[in-house]
A = this chain, B = another copy of it.
Amino acid sequence: MADVALVPWEQNAERAPEGVRAVVYDGEGEPPAEAADAVLYVVPYGRGQRLDVMAGMPRLRAVQLLTAGYEHALAALPDGVALHNGRGLHDASTAEHAVALMLAAQRELPRWALDQTARRWAPHYTRSLAGSRVLIVGHGSIGAAIERRLLPFEIEVVKVARRARPEQGVHPVADLPRLLPGADAVVLVAPHTPETEGLIGARELALLPDDALVVNVGRGPLLDTGALLAEKGRVRAALDVTDPEPLPADHPLWDAPGVLVTPHVAGGSAAFYPRARRFVDAQLRRWAAGEPLANEVRAGG
Chain A residues with CB under 8 Å of chain B are 92-93, 96-97, 99-100, 103-104, 106-107, 109-110, 112-117, 119-131, 148-149, 151-154, 246-247, 249-251, 254-255, 260-265, 268-272, 274
Q: With A152-B148, A249-B120 in contact, is A125–B263 under 8 Å at CB?
A: no
Q: Which of A100, A110, A265 has the most CB of B within 10 A?
A: A100
Q: Do the beta carbons of B265 and A124 come within 8 Å of each other? A: yes
Interfacial chain B residues near A99, Cβ < 8 Å: 99, 103
Q: Which 10 A-B pairs have the closest CB atoms?
A: A128-B271, A110-B113, A130-B271, A100-B103, A128-B269, A121-B246, A123-B263, A113-B113, A112-B262, A128-B270
Q: With A92-B130, A96-B129, A128-B271 in contact, is A264–B103 under 8 Å at CB?
A: no
Q: Do the beta carbons of B265 and A119 come within 8 Å of each other? A: no
| CA A109 to CA B128, docked complex, whole Å | 17
Q: Do the beta carbons of A131 and B261 come within 8 Å of each other? A: no
Tell me, rounded to whole Å, the shortest Cβ–Cβ distance linking A252 to chain B: 10
Select which of B92, B122, B127, B271 is within 8 A of A269 by beta carbon.
B127
Q: Do the beta carbons of B121 and A110 come within 8 Å of each other? A: no
Q: Do the beta carbons of B115 and A114 come within 8 Å of each other? A: no
Q: Do the beta carbons of B270 and A122 come within 8 Å of each other? A: no
Select which of B126, B131, B271 is within 8 A of A274 by beta carbon.
B131
Q: Which of A116, A153, A254 has the most CB of B within 10 A?
A: A116
| CA A226 to CA B147, docked complex, whole Å | 40
Interfacial chain B residues near A93, Cβ < 8 Å: 128, 130
Q: Do the beta carbons of B114 and A104 come within 8 Å of each other? A: no
Select which of B121, B128, B263 is within 8 A of A263 by beta carbon.
B121
Q: Offer 18 A-B interface pairs, CB within 8 angstroms, sorted by A.
A: A92-B153, A93-B130, A96-B103, A99-B99, A100-B107, A103-B103, A106-B269, A109-B113, A113-B113, A116-B255, A119-B254, A124-B265, A125-B265, A125-B270, A126-B269, A127-B270, A128-B271, A148-B152
| CA A154 to CA B271, docked complex, whole Å | 9
Tell me, rounded to whole Å, the shortest Cβ–Cβ distance linking A102 to chain B: 9
Select which of B117, B149, B250 is within 8 A of A152 by beta carbon.
B149
Q: Do the beta carbons of A254 and B96 come within 8 Å of each other? A: no
| CA A193 to CA B112, docked complex, whole Å | 28
Interfacial chain B residues near A260, Cβ < 8 Å: 112-113, 116
| CA A113 to CA B111, docked complex, whole Å | 8
Q: Do the beta carbons of A116 and B154 come within 8 Å of each other? A: no
Tell me, rounded to whole Å, the shortest Cβ–Cβ distance linking A2 to chain B: 32
Q: With A100-B107, A116-B254, A149-B153 in contact, is A126–B92 under 8 Å at CB?
A: no
Interfacial chain B residues near A128, Cβ < 8 Å: 92-93, 96, 269-272
* CB-based nearest B residue for A123: B263
